Copies of this chain bind each other. A is one copy, B any other.
Amino acid sequence: MAHSRVNDAALAEKALELFRQQGYEGTSLNDLATATGLEKASLYYRFPGGKKDNCRCRGPHVVHWFEENMFEPLKGPGLPADRIRTMVRKLRLFYGDGAKPCILDALSLRGGPPELASALGNAYKAWLDSFAAIARESGLNARTAEDRARQALIQIEGSLVLSRVTGNRKMFLDAVAALPKLLTQQ
């Protein structure tokens, strides 16, 4: 039987926003109930393991979003630089142009469920591979491609922290705008 009042996708979206903005410990069941429009008892029906269970389920959700919106566009078709630009648009959406924190960073502090941390850790590795692959396709050798992939992730994560903390989105926007060149240029 399908869930009625609130569908799974909407619930997942609301829960993810709370966890990424407030962290695991900072998000209460009351917060989740208010945001989703369900009572706490109903949340226990959907997630018998309570908050931990709910948070754990964000892993597959985020991984799926990344695969669909970032990894797939990077695989083609189209010119590598164009594909990266497509990914950058999705990236800006996911991070609210630099205003929203990284979900993995937010949940990697002690308290979050370890299963989630490892799921997201794997997503990071897949992201690195995805970047390295398109850099190689652009004609860079394997070593350089891996280095550029690491640099790309450092630019994204570093600029994200600084943008959020200083309240100035420019660092993030500049950093992601430079990604096509970083990942393709000789």
Contact = CB atoms under 8 A, between A and B. Distances in A.
Given A22-B111, A23-B25, A109-B26, A157 B162 contact: yes
Task: Name A's interface SS.
Answer: helix
B110 A21 contact: yes
Given A105-B105, A109-B22, A111-B26, A153 B157 contact: no
A23 to B, nearest CB: 5
Contacts of A29: none
Each complex incorporates copies of this chain amounting to: 2
A169 interface: no
Interface string A103-122: 01110111100000100110
Interface in A1-48: 21-26
Given A22-B25, A121-B165, 4 more contacts: A23-B23, A26-B110, A105-B161, A120-B165
7 contacts: A21-B109, A22-B25, A22-B110, A26-B109, A106-B109, A124-B165, A125-B166
The 6 closest A-B pairs by CB, nearest first: A158-B158, A154-B158, A25-B26, A25-B25, A157-B158, A157-B161
